[in-house]
Amino acid sequence: MNPLLAVENLSVSFAGQQAVDAVSFQLAAGECLALVGESGSGKSVTARSLMGLSGGTVSATKLMVCHEDALALSEPAWQKIRGNSVVMILQDALMALDPLRPVGREIEDVLKEHSSLNKSQRTAKVREILAAVELPEPERRMKQRSTQLSGGMRQRVLIAQALIGDPQIVIADEATTALDSRLAALVLEQLAALKNEGRAVLMISHDLAQVAQLADRIAVMRAGQIVETGPTEQILNHPQHEYTRTLLRAIPSGVPRFAPLSAGTPVNEPRQLAPASTDSAPALVVENLSKSFAKHPAVVEAGFVLPRGATLGLVGESGSGKTTTARLVLGLERPDTGSVTLLGDRFAPHSEAARRGLRENIGAIYQNPLGSFDPRYSVGQILTDALSAGRSKRATGYKDQVGRLLEQVELDPVLSTRNPRELSGGQRQRLAIARALAPEPKVLVLDEPVSALDVSIQATVLDLLDRLQQETGTSYLFISHDLSVIEHMSDFVAVMHRGRIVEQGPTAQVFGDPQHEYTRILMTAMPRLR
Amino acid sequence: MKLLAWLGRKVGGALVVLWLVATAIFIGVRLIPGDPAEAIMGGPGSQASAEALANARSEYGLDLPIISQYFLFLAKLIRLDFGTSYSFKDPVLQIMGEVLPPTINLALLALVVAWLLALLFALLAMRANKFGRLLGNAVEIVAAAVPHFWLGAVLIMLFSSMLGWLPAVANGTPAGLVLPVLTLALPLAGFLTQLMRDSLNTAMGSQFALAARARGESRLTVFRRHGLRHAALPALGLTGWAFSSLLSGAVVVEAIFARPGLGRSLLSAVLARDIPMVTGIALFSALVYIVVMALTEAIERLIDPAGAES
C-alpha cells in the first residue's frame, strides 16, 4: 500500500544544532503511529517538519506527505496542504486558541483558507462540526473566546478545527498531555474515531501508557534519533532498547507503593505503615471544610484525616476544588466553615500571628515551582533563605546545610550558584522539594507536583518523594488529577468531585472496589498497562 | 443595558474629574503672584489708576471672600459661562470655538498617522532579518527620543528649504498640514512601535499562531488576524495618554509652523495671566482627554471583552 507519509533519513537542525537526526518512518491511511520521547527528544520538531513549519534546516533522502514531495513544496503549496489534508492538534488547548478571538472564528478560518463557501455557509458548517464533536450549546459557545470555555470545551473546539478540513493525516502533538483522565479519554476517543474513518494519525507524546491505547506502532525517540520502533504489542511487552525499558518502568500505573519507577534508586522494601500510636495526634485533620467564591461553592463540607508518616492522595478533575482545599489547609484562604488541625493544634481558621509558630510544620510544593522562586536568587540563596526562615540569604553560614539539602534531593551541590531558570523542569522540582524540606516540616502539601514533567522525569521525582518520606517520616497530602500517580503514591485516597469528597478510604479499597458512581467513571477512563 | 450602565459610569466619572480640574485651576490661579486686576487692565505696564483697579475687582468679583468666589466660579462653569478673556475681550467660549478645531484636527491626524506608521514599522520589523531588526530598533528609539522643535526644524529644512516640496508655514491647504502632522506623529510612532513589537513578537511566536499556520494561513494572514490585535492592546491602553501628549506637543508645533490653535492661545494666555482663557483651555483639554480615554476603552472592550471585564 502506498503510505500517506514516507520519511527517510529526515534531519532538522537549528543554527548548526541537530534537533532531528536521520529519522525514518511511514504511515498509511487508517493507521496510528506514536512518536514517544522526552521533551527535547525532537519529536515535535519532526512533526512540524511534516507540515513545513519546523523553522529549521530540513534535509531528507525522502519526505513524501500525501503523495507530494515535501522537500520541493513552495510556501503557497504548503498553505494548500496545511489545515486541509494535514492538520495538527496542539498540546495546550488554552494556548492553541487566540484568547482575543471567538472560537467559532478560529474554526471558520480553516474554511476561509480552503473553501469558497460564503459567510453564512461557513457559519453553518462551523455549527455543524461543533455539534459533531458534542460541544454543548454550540450556537452560544462559538461566539465566546477560549478563556470563557472550560478545558473540555476547548479540547472539543481544537478537534473541531482539525476535522472541518476533512484531513488525510492528523498530527496530535501532546494532545492528551496534562489533561485529566476523562478529558484525555475524550481526545483518544475522537482520535480513534478519526483512525477508524481511514485517516492516518500521528501521535506525539512523552507518555507510553496513553499512546498505547490507540497506536498500532510506536517509535521511541531520544536525542533526535529513533532508538526503537515496532508494533505497540512488541514495544510494551518485549522492549529491545534499554531506553524503552526505562520509559516503560517509569509508568506508575499498577506499580506497588514504594517500588521504584526509575533506575538508579536503591530498591526499598515496601514499608508497612507504622501503627498510629494513640498518644500522638494525626498529622492533619480536616473537618467540614467549605469555601465559596462569589457565592460559587469551591469546596463543600470536605473532611479527611492524614495519619502521621502516611500519604493521602486527593484526586479529581481540574476545577473539582483540589487546589482550593490545599490553600485552605495551608491557611492561605480563610474557610467559610470547618477547621484544619495540624499535629493536634488548631491551624485554620486562626489569626496569622497565632499560626506563625506552627507554619514551619507544614510546607508546600506546586506544579510550576519557577514562579515561586525569586528570579534574583541563586539556588543557594533560595535554600539559605528557607533555612534561616527569611532572615538571611547570604550563603556563608549555611553552606553545609545547603549542600546537605541538595544532596538529599539528589542535586549536584555545584548547582548552588546557578539561577533556577537555568535548571531543567525536574531539577527545579527537586529544588522546590529541598526548599520545602529546609524547615523540616511534618506535613507536605504537594499540589500536582509532577504534572508538568515528562513521565521519565516524573518517575525520578516520585522515587525521591518516596525515599524522603521513608527517611524523614513526613506526611504527604498529595494532590493530582492523575489516577495512576495517586494509586502509586498514596496509602489513602480521597476522590473530589464538584467541591465534595465523594469517596475516601485505603487506596486498595477505593481503586479495587469503587463505590461512588463518579469514582467508577474515573477508573474506566484511566489508562492501564499492567 | 450594559452599555447604558457603562456610559452612565463614564459620564459620572467625567463630571467628577472636571470638577476636580476646575477646583485645581481655581486654586492654582490664585497662587500665581501678582494682582489679577492688573492683568485685566492690561498687565503691570498699563499704569492703571487705583480707581480703575478697584472697578475691575468689583466687576470680576475679585473683592468677594474666596469661598464665594469659588462657588460663583463653579456656578458660572455649570452654565457654560467661562467669562470673557482679559486679553482678547471676547467670550472664552467663542475663542475656544475658533482655536480648538484646528488643534484637535492636528492632534487627531497625528494620532492616526502615528498608529499607521507604528503598524507599518511593526510589520516591517516582523518580516525583517536580524540586521533589519537592529536598524528598525535604532530608528524607533531615535524617533521616540527627538524633541518636536528639533524635528520640526529639520523637516522644514529638508522638505521646504532644500527640496521645496512642502510649505513651511501652515497655509490652510492639505500640503501645509503634512509637516506639522509628521512632526507630531513621528516621535509617537516610534514610541508606539516599541510598545507593539514586544507583544507582537510574543503573539507571533505563540501556540495559537502556530495553530493558525497549521490551518494553512500565510504569515501575513496570521499577522492580520492574530498579531494585530495582540500588538494593538498595550498601545491602545496608552493612546489616551498619547493624545494628551499630542496636545501639549501641539503648543510647540503650532509655534514652529505658525498655525493658529489652542497651543498658541494657551501660550499667550498664560503669559498674559488671562485667567478665564487658562481655565477654559485646561477644562477643554481635560474634557478631550476624558473623551479619548473613553473611546480607547470602548475599542479595548471590542478587542478583548474578557480582559476588560477583569
In chain B, which residues have their Cβ closer than 8 Å to the Cβ of A165? 215
Rounded mean pLDDT, B205-209: 88
Q: pLDDT at position A40, please?
A: 82
Rounded mean pLDDT, A288-315: 90
pLDDT digits (tens, 9 = 90+) for B131-174: 877 888 888 888 888 888 888 888 888 887 778 787 777 666 77
Is the pLDDT confidence value at A313 over 70? yes
Sign of torsion over alpha carbons A132, A133, A136, A139: negative
- What residue segments make up the domains of chain A, in order of their start? 1-85+168-249, 93-166, 284-375+440-525
Quickly state the pLDDT bin for A10 (edges 50, 70, 90): very high
Residue of B35, B42, B30 lying closest to B279 (CA atoms): B30
Q: pLDDT at position B259, please?
A: 80
Is the pLDDT confidence value at B199 over 90? no
Q: pLDDT at position A265, please?
A: 53
In chain A, which residues have their Cβ closer than 8 Å to the Cβ of B213? 53, 82
Q: Element (H or E) spanning A447, and its range?
A: strand A443-447
Peptide bond into A375 cis (omega under 30): no
Is the pLDDT confidence value at B46 over 70? no
Q: Buried b vs exposed e over A132-152: b needs ≥16 C-beta within 10 Å?
A: ebebeebeebbebbbeebebb
Q: Which fold has domain A1-85+168-249?
A: Rossmann fold (3.40.50)
CA distance A307 to A285: 8
- Who wins on pLDDT, A265 or A442? A442
Domain A284-375+440-525 has CATH 3.40.50.300: yes
Is the pLDDT confidence value at A384 over 70? yes
8-state DSSP, A321: S
* DSSP assignments along B42-82, one per residue: T-GGG---HHHHHHHHHHTTTTS-HHHHHHHHHHHHHTT--
Residues of chain B that touch chain A, judged by Cβ-Cβ distance less than 8 Å: 206-208, 210-218, 221, 225-226, 229-230, 233, 303-306
Q: pLDDT at position A530, please?
A: 61
Asked if the Cβ–Cβ distance from B214 to A98 is below 8 Å, we say no
Q: Considering only A169-183, A274-288, A334-348, A445-459, which range has the smallest mean pLDDT? A: A274-288
Query: Which residue in A81, A100, A114, A149 has the most chain B C-beta atoms within 10 A of its own C-beta, making it the best mutation to test that interface?
Result: A100
What Å distances lie between residue B71 and A177, B61, B143, CA to CA? 68, 11, 46
ipTM reported for the complex, 2 dp: 0.77
Please provide the average confidence, as pLDDT, over all residues in chain B.
Answer: 81
Sign of torsion over alpha carbons A477, A479, A485, A487: positive
Nearest-by-CA chain A residue for B232: A100
Q: pLDDT at position A230, please?
A: 93
Is the pLDDT confidence value at B309 over 60? no
Residue of A101, A323, A36, A332 lying closest to B226 (CA atoms): A101
In chain A, which residues have their Cβ closer than 8 Å to the Cβ of B214? 51, 53, 82-83, 87-88, 90
d(CA A106, nearest CA chain B) in Å: 8
Q: pLDDT at position A425, please?
A: 83
Is the pLDDT confidence value at B178 over 90? no
Task: Please tell me which of A204-213, A486-495, B71-80 the model is most confident about, judged by mean pLDDT.
Answer: A486-495
Strands A475-480 and A443-447: parallel
Q: Which residues pair with A10 in a beta bridge?
A: A23
Within 13 Å of residue B94, how many CA atoms lie on the same side as its CB? 7
Task: Please tell me which of A136-140, A268-272, A392-396, B56-60 the model is most confident about, judged by mean pLDDT.
Answer: A136-140
Q: pLDDT at position A279, please?
A: 56
* Degrees, nearest 5: CA angle B120-B196-B303: 100
Rounded mean pLDDT, A14-28: 91
CA distance B246 to B187: 10
Q: What cell numbers appear for A503 in the block?
A: 469517596
Q: Model's pTM, two decimal places?
A: 0.77
d(CA B211, nearest CA chain A) in Å: 6
What's the farthest any 2 CA atoms get from each other in chain B?
Answer: 85
Quickly state the pLDDT bin for A479 (edges 50, 70, 90): very high
Q: What percent of chain B lies above the pLDDT cut of 70?
A: 92
pLDDT digits (tens, 9 = 90+) for A402-461: 888 898 888 888 888 888 888 888 888 899 999 998 888 999 999 999 888 888 888 988
Please provide the average confidence, as pLDDT, over all residues in chain A.
Answer: 87
Asked if the Cβ–Cβ distance from A109 to B225 is below 8 Å, we say yes
Residues of chain A that touch chain B, judged by Cβ-Cβ distance less than 8 Å: 48, 51, 53, 75-76, 79-84, 87-88, 90-92, 95-101, 106, 109-110, 113-114, 145, 147-148, 161, 165
- Who wins on pLDDT, A432 or B38? A432
In chain B, which residues have their Cβ closer than 8 Å to the Cβ of A163? none
Q: pLDDT at position B39, please?
A: 67
pLDDT digits (tens, 9 = 90+) for A103-134: 999 999 999 988 888 999 999 999 999 988 88
User: How many helical (H) and strand (E) elements, i.e. helices and strands, does chain A have?
Assistant: 19, 21
- Who wins on pLDDT, B24 or B87? B24
Residue of A113, A170, A63, A211 lying closest to A527 (CA atoms): A211
CA distance A303 to B112: 61
What phi and psi, each to the nearest 5 degrees, are found at residue B226?
-115, -50
- Who wins on pLDDT, A337 or B97? A337
What Å distances lie between residue B181 and A428, B151, B178, B187, B257, CA to CA? 53, 11, 5, 11, 11
What Å distances lie between residue A376 and A403, A406, A466, B33, CA to CA? 20, 19, 31, 51
Residue A316: strand, helix, or coil: coil
For residue B281, how many other CB atoms are within 10 A of its CB?
Answer: 26
Q: Which residues pair with A230 in a beta bridge?
A: A218
In chain A, which residues have their Cβ closer than 8 Å to the Cβ of B217? 79, 83, 109, 113
Helical H segments across chain B, by residue range? 2-31, 36-40, 50-59, 66-78, 92-127, 130-145, 148-155, 174-204, 207-214, 219-222, 228-237, 239-256, 262-271, 275-303, 305-309
Taking the mean position of all CA atoms in its chain, how far away is CA A157? 20
Residue of B70, B78, B81 lying closest to B23 (CA atoms): B70
Asked if the Cβ–Cβ distance from B214 to A82 is below 8 Å, we say yes
Shortest CB distance from A80 goes to which of B210, B214, B216? B216
Sign of torsion over alpha carbons B155, B156, B158, B159: positive
In chain A, which residues have their Cβ closer than 8 Å to the Cβ of B230? 100
Q: In what order do the strands lie in the sheet with A32-36?
A: A86-89, A169-173, A200-205, A32-36, A217-222, A225-231
Asked if the Cβ–Cβ distance from A98 to B208 is below 8 Å, we say yes
For residue A515, how many other CB atoms are within 10 A of its CB?
Answer: 12
Shortest CB distance from A145 goes to which of B216, B233, B306? B306
Shortest CB distance from B210 goes to which of A90, A100, A101? A90
Beta-carbon contacts of A488 under 8 Å, excluding residues fewer than 6 positions away, are A252, A253, A255, A256, A257, A261, A462
What's the farthest any 2 CA atoms get from each other in chain A?
Answer: 77
Quickly state the pLDDT bin for A310 (edges 50, 70, 90): very high
In chain B, which residues have their Cβ closer than 8 Å to the Cβ of A161? 211, 215
The single residue listed with the C-alpha cell 516540616 is A441
Is the pLDDT confidence value at A246 over 60? yes
What Å distances lie between residue B180 and A67, B121, B168, CA to CA? 59, 20, 9
Quickly state the pLDDT bin for A488 (edges 50, 70, 90): very high
Quickly state the pLDDT bin for A477 (edges 50, 70, 90): very high
